[in-house]
Amino acid sequence: MNSTTEKTPQSGKKHFWNKKPRKELTVDDITIVDKDLLKRAVGAAALGNAMEWFDFGVYSYLAVTIGKVFFPGSNPAAQLIATFGAFAAAFLVRPIGGLVFGPLGDRIGRQKVLAITMIMMSIGTFCIGLIPSYESIGIMAPILLLVARLVQGFSTGGEYGGAATFIAEYSTDNRRGFMGSWLEFGTLGGYLLGAGLVTGLTAALPTETMLSWGWRIPFFIAAPLGLFGLYIRLKLEETPAFQKHMEKQDELEHSKPRLGLWQMLYKYRAQMLKCIGLVLLFNVSNYMLTSYMPSYLTGILGLSELSGLMLVMVVMFVMMPLTLFWGHWNDRLGRRPVIWLGAIGLIVLAVPCLMLIGTGNLLWVFVGLMVLGMLHTCFSGSMPATLPALFSTEIRYSALAIGFNISVSLFGGTTPLLTTWLVEKTHNLMMPAYYLMVAGLIGVITVFTTRETARKPLRGSAPAVGSEAEARNLIQKLRLRRQREQREQQAENNDTVLP
């Protein structure tokens, strides 16, 4: 005879009637997002990222020219390495910027820090256009270029983490992926604007004129763009999630001390490692395509400068709507499947793409670049929503800024430099493909350890919806779910008792 009896709480079985009742959610507990404020927040954040990538587009497309202006007397490959060395140097100070601006953003607010980073980015970019050439002031020219790049790097240390946090905390739970994808839409738009301006100048001006003063024009445009972006950001309100967090902090000021930097890094070390792995995947493919490929096509494959620039620009243009496409679908399919698709695609298709690019035939070069661009949009459409969701509200800006910039500095910004060096040393034109494959493998492993966050509230934040009607529907769904769980628990406990 079966002697199964009902387990008591002491025996380890918790009955639903012994559980502490959960507080019933009300409309006041749910964040209702103002749609107009959301659009302004997304636009302001995307504009700042566009400003950052306007500079990257200009610098990448002028890499050969900048090498001749600031590093004369060397062979073209050495000039390119020196130019990308100055490019990479800015990334070495990005973690320092993240260490400064991240905690500041968690303490005084996202909006204020994003205004500061906008000012510094504009000043750094504008100053590059003012630096005399090597022929005019000798060794001071590359030194001043390095200083300006360091200012840019320090400021961008607080830019992406803040912008992604800003959009994520303003967005509704069901549309966070799509809204976040506008951040990368701004990235591509800014890059395309910078690249398009350089391409237009290259086509319109003689080579001697470009070397003399034409290259300075794109950097001077940074000043009015920066002032406009600053105006937009100063008109914004703080995010609802941060406002609620600060209200709680005021109530708990004496009972809950703020985590120190090292305490935070230790406590959230698992999330930090996931952030670094995801950003590695995201940025290696990004900088390989946007920063390295224009110079690879012209300096290594020998394509005409105008042809190389135009090919990458067309790819960037197609990537813009694709980024929004994946932003929409990762809200429905989930972040993990979309990122997995891109990572596995890199592992499988990187070598075929580089073989197509290596033919030098413009059609096949375009096909190879387009496939790489399409794979990258899986990341650009998903990461702005995935990365902020790794961390809770009180440390989101700090942790994301630090983790993002450590990864970008070590693996993203150094991609053009390391890839150029590897090709130069090994004479193997497939090195970019192998680099992408390693990034894809790391991405697959990282995504496997990351939980799905689509259509869920951010850590430490209340659910966010777009209207009061949605809030009431959410409450009703949660109530029905709770009732179903209670019935299932009741049935489970009844099954443990024999008649």
**487 pLDDT more than 60:** yes
Amino acid occupying residue 334 = G
- For the ranges 89-98, 245-254, 479-488, the maximum mean pLDDT occurs at 89-98
- For the ranges 133-147, 149-163, 242-256, 347-361, the maximum mean pLDDT occurs at 347-361
The residue ranges of every structural domain in the chain are 36-237+274-460
Of 23-32, 246-255, 436-445, the poorest mean pLDDT is in 246-255
Residue pair 425/253 in contact (Cβ under 8 Å)? The answer is no
**12 pLDDT more than 80:** no
Residue pair 423/84 in contact (Cβ under 8 Å)? The answer is no
CA dihedral 200, 429, 64, 284 (to 10 degrees): 80
The CA distance from 210 to 339, in Å, is 40
- Residue keyed to tokens 């738009």: 189
- Residue keyed to tokens 């769904």: 477
- Residue keyed to tokens 């509704």: 172
Q: To the nearest whole number, what is the mean pLDDT of the chain?
A: 84
The CA distance from 438 to 255, in Å, is 46
**332 pLDDT more than 50:** yes
**59 pLDDT more than 80:** no
Tell me the per-residue pLDDT of 124-182, one tens digit each, with 9 for 90 and over.
Answer: 888 888 999 888 888 888 888 888 888 888 888 888 888 999 999 999 999 999 999 99
Of 252-261, 394-403, 407-416, 437-446, the poorest mean pLDDT is in 252-261
Q: Quote the pLDDT of residue 274.
A: 96
* Domain 36-237+274-460: CATH class, spelled out: mainly alpha
Residue pair 413/117 in contact (Cβ under 8 Å)? The answer is no
- Residue keyed to tokens 């659910």: 463
Residue pair 297/307 in contact (Cβ under 8 Å)? The answer is yes
